[in-house]
């Protein structure tokens, strides 16, 4: 952390720098961080910016603050929530392969369950929108347009599931996804091949066939995951 931070949004930059260090394992759980005064000096910012950045770290349960400015790192895998990934990655932090593989695995499981619920609780307007979005993905002129339609497809699917927790998870992921579109290009790279699965999922939801909807979306998400993992390797 030798370089000083630029002079805009200093508390945000302090937060993202420290969060990145914690998530990357540069500080181990239980390890004591430098004092806030030392951090201010090394980052080239004022104490108020450091205090605000540290306050956000504490709110996300990344650190414990004791006895004034004494700070110890918490085990974020044991204490953190989804907001840890969203906030930290929003600042450009890189997560290790283990975490990103877990994100993709959770995505696949979540979407398959959402599809089953969407079919059981189907709404004609949402089913029609899914069919429209499936067609838009297949005809998308470029990757970015396809990514927007892909996210809209799954957001509609989750909304159709009628499950509030799944909806809130999707809301949290949206910020992360659109902040790092380049990292997820592989999800739509083979959209010509995947088009039949988008269409099959939309048809199953419209027909109220929960089993077929879950299988189609599970197969679709698994194919996207495999393409993403291929890029990772």
Shared-domain flag, residues 66 and 133: no
- Here the CATH number for the domain that contains residue 219 is 1.20.120.530
**Digit-coded pLDDT (tens) for 96-113:** 667 778 888 888 999 999
Where among 58, 84, 110 does a domain terminate?
84
For the ranges 35-44, 64-73, 186-195, the lowest mean pLDDT is seen at: 64-73
Please give the Cα distance from 164 to 209 (Å, whole number).
Answer: 21
pLDDT the model gives residue 181:
83
Cβ neighbours of residue 140 closer than 8 Å, sequence gap 6 or more: 146, 149, 188, 191
**Digit-coded pLDDT (tens) for 169-186:** 888 777 777 777 888 899
Q: Which of 4-8, 33-37, 102-106, 108-112 has the highest mean pLDDT?
A: 108-112
Where among 84, 116, 137 does a domain terminate?
84
Say whether 85 sits in a helix, a strand or coil.
Answer: helix
Shared-domain flag, residues 45 and 125: no
Instruction: Give the pairing of strands 63-66 and 70-73.
Output: antiparallel
Please give the Cα distance from 169 to 144 (Å, whole number).
Answer: 22
Shared-domain flag, residues 110 and 225: yes
| In-domain check, residue 89 | no
Please give the Cα distance from 168 to 108 (Å, whole number).
Answer: 16
The tally of domains found in the chain comes to: 2
Which residue range is the domain that position 180 belongs to? 97-232
Side-chain-facing half-sphere of 43: CA atoms under 13 Å = 27
pLDDT the model gives residue 8:
47
Shared-domain flag, residues 64 and 152: no
Where among 84, 110, 142 does a domain terminate?
84
Please give the Cα distance from 157 to 40 (Å, whole number).
Answer: 46
Helix axes 143-161, 124-139, angle to 10 degrees: 160
**Digit-coded pLDDT (tens) for 41-95:** 998 999 999 999 999 999 889 999 887 667 899 998 888 877 776 665 554 555 5
Two tokens at 118?
A: 């969407």
């Amino acid at each position: 952390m030798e370089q000083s931070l630029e002079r805009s949004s200093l508390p945000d930059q302090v937060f993202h720098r420290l969060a990145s260090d914690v998530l990357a394992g540069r500080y181990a759980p239980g390890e004591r961080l430098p004092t806030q005064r030392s951090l201010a000096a090394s980052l080239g910012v004022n104490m108020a910016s450091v205090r605000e950045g540290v306050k956000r770290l504490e709110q996300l349960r990344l650190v414990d603050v004791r006895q004034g400015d004494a700070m110890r790192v918490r085990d974020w895998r044991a204490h953190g929530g989804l907001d840890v990934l969203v906030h930290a990655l929003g600042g450009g932090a890189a997560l290790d392969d283990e975490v990103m593989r877990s994100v993709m695995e959770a995505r696949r499981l979540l979407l398959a369950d959402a599809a089953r619920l969407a079919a059981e609780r189907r709404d004609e307007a949402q089913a029609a929108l899914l069919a429209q979005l499936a067609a838009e993905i297949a005809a998308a002129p470029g990757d970015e347009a396809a990514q927007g339609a892909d996210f809209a497809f799954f957001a509609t699917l989750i909304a159709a599931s009628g499950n509030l927790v799944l909806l809130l998870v999707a809301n949290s992921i949206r910020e992360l996804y659109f902040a790092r579109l380049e990292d997820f290009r592989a999800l739509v790279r083979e959209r010509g091949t995947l088009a039949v699965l988008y269409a099959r999922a939309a048809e199953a939801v419209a027909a109220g066939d929960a089993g077929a909807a879950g299988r189609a979306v599970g197969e679709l998400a698994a194919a996207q995951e495999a393409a993403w993992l291929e890029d990772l390797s």
